[in-house]
Amino acid sequence: MNITILFFLGLIIALVGVIPPGLLNMTAAKISLKEGHVRGIMFSIGVCVIVFLQTYIAAMFARYLSNHKDVVEILQRVAFVIFVLITVYFLLIAKSEPKPDIEPHSKSKHSRFFQGMFLSAINVFPIPYQAYMTITIASFGWMEFELTSIVSYVTGAATGTFVMLYVYIFFFDKIKSKTFTTQKNMNYIIGTITGIIAGITLINILMDATRNT
């Protein structure tokens, strides 16, 4: 597939993964609010450096799994169940609770950059998320595990992460003033996203079953 399309696939998938308010995007917004946009952006760049590496690792893991179809089939079924449960939780069960206030401590631009790298490094969710999404893209024939394709996708993922952090930075005042509403809406957004992913996973499972019969 065209590397430009792969770039935008990576961008969209990563952007969707960072939409829900969490440690990274809320910290970036708080830093920007208290210390200025430059330091918030430096923090975000540090996050994206690690996201680039994590997504590359995920792609390598996905390439390995693509050569072990039996493992992929098991993971698809497990992922389907997990995404369905997450969808049910966020759409029907989750309550709206305000996010804890995150108080930034370090002050310099460089410390913000390395803080972003550190917090991103301890957040390992992007690795299984991107590994699964990469396998899914490859299963539809949209991606081949060649270096150019992988780098294009990984670069898109890092860019998508930065875009969403940037959005949080510059619109945090609006989000902060509507904590309850925003959190409630985010629950619906998360549930919808995981529901769509569950649907794609189910289609993929059924397609694989059809090919094997």
pLDDT of res. 42: 93
| Tens of pLDDT, residue by residue, the chain (213 residues) | 688 899 999 999 898 878 766 778 888 888 888 888 889 899 999 999 999 999 999 898 888 877 766 666 676 677 778 778 877 876 777 654 444 444 445 456 678 899 999 988 988 778 888 888 888 888 778 888 888 999 999 999 999 999 999 988 887 756 555 544 455 666 676 677 667 777 877 787 777 677 666
pTM for this one? 0.69
From the centroid of its chain, how far is CA 90?
17
pLDDT of res. 7: 93
pLDDT of res. 80: 74
pLDDT of res. 189: 66
